[in-house]
Amino acid sequence: MMWVTYFKHYLTDVFPRFLNEKPWNYKNDLCIVGARDLTAASGDKTYLEYVRPYADHLLAADGSIRNFPEGEHNIDKVSFAKSLRIYRDLTGDDRFEKALGKCESTLFDYPRTETGNFWHKDIYPNQVWLDGLYMGLPVYAAYSVEHKADKLEDILGQFRTAHSLLYNPALGLYMHANDCSRRMDWANPVTGQSPTVWLRAEGWFLMALVDVYEIIKEQTPAAKELCEFLSNALLGLLPYQQAETKMFLQIPNLPDEPLNYPETSGSAMVAYALMKGARLGMIPVSCWHLGEEILTGIEKTYLRKDGENYYLYGTCASAGLGPGPDHRTDRDGTIRYYLSEKQMVDNQHGAAACMMAFSEYLYGAPN
């Protein structure tokens, strides 16, 4: 199949280039999770064997976590725990167990907004982003279950407050972020919400819901609340599916906006959440077929062969709010901004999200 050929080439030839270009970051975690999911769904252990040698990019010989400074609060880096857990289980190396504990422990005294949510980063204080729910809460849930730490009500509470902070009932969609302090220029002075719906942010939220539910569903009946949030989020988003490509646009609710385009990573995240949510019984079985349709749409629209290899197009390289470490002045949360960010071929967000979605496809439609 085209996807299988693409993923094997990606993990052996493309992904290592990203590892060599920049220090470890959450995009690499996505690819490691994607490889783990492909192995679990297909039974083909080569996917994890492909990424086994890359562990040195994450963990130094002395057991320290690369690009993980002491005392830094950055929810994107908390996501490193996902890779550390996978490498711990894959290698049995005690260094990964110790590093995982260090990474998880940063959540114990992590700064929070007045609503009780983990804030995004030291450079984005008092802010809740949909991205951060995916980065942090599955890690927190896995820690709670493995160590019987009784953090589940805290986790569910953060989903509840995130819903109240980020849901826009007039649109039926979730906004990218909320500044609880109302200090940022992009923040609505009344609600604190950022002004634009961004597809990948919606995808982060959907993936956080299904992944956390999978971890905690046997631990508490209150996990059913996540099913309600998932149904509500999909109810708002699915009407914006594009008829021709079966995908969703970079700004999903503005189909007539010039320069808007079907975006790969967010569409794949929606496909993943639909198929996994159906497999886990969170949403009706019929939703699995909607996810399959989206994944097929991505393949037809953006998976293209050039010479011997396939390449994946249509992925937004990056997007955020505020100046960031590069002191940018354009990340103002406007429509213009989200449509100005560059698209990148074989971007990790897109490739990894497609790995995850394809893994759910391999499990097949639930009965």
- In tens, the pLDDT along 259-269 reads 999 999 999 99
Question: Across the strands, what pairs with 179?
Answer: 127
Structure tokens at 276: 């996994």
pLDDT higher than threshold 90 for residue 325: no
| Helix spans in 66-129 (H) | 75-78, 80-91, 94-105
Query: What pLDDT digit, counting tens, does each position of 300-318 carry?
Result: 999 999 999 999 999 999 9
Rounded CA-CA distance 325/115 in Å is 26
- Model pLDDT, residue 324: 83
pLDDT over 90 at 75, yes or no: yes
Instruction: Evaluate whether 213 touches 137 at the Cβ level (below 8 Å).
Output: no
Q: What is the pLDDT of residue 241?
A: 98
Instruction: Categorize the per-residue pLDDT at 73 as very low, low, confident or very high, splitting at 50, 70 and 90.
Output: very high
pTM assigned to the model: 0.98
The predicted pLDDT at position 1 comes to 80
Residues 194-231: tens digit of each pLDDT: 999 999 999 999 999 999 999 999 999 999 999 999 99
Are 75 and 136 contacting, i.e. CB atoms less than 8 angstroms apart? Answer: yes
**How many Cβ atoms are within 10 Å of 5's Cβ, its own excluded?**
14
Give pLDDT, residue 252. Answer: 98
- Structural domain 2-363, CATH architecture: Alpha/alpha barrel (1.50)
The enclosing H or E element of 128 equals strand 127-129
Q: What's the pLDDT score for residue 262? A: 98
CA dist., res. 241 & res. 246, Å (int): 6
Q: What is the pLDDT of residues 138-188, one digit of tens each?
A: 999 999 999 999 999 999 999 999 999 999 999 999 999 999 999 999 999
Q: Quote the pLDDT of residue 210.
A: 99
327-354, pLDDT tens digit by residue? 899 999 999 999 999 999 999 999 999 9
pLDDT greater than 90 at residue 30: yes
| For residue 286, pLDDT beyond 90 | yes
Domain locations along the chain: 2-363
pLDDT for 326:
85
* Residue 3: per-residue pLDDT: 98
At residue 59, the 3 state secondary structure works out as strand
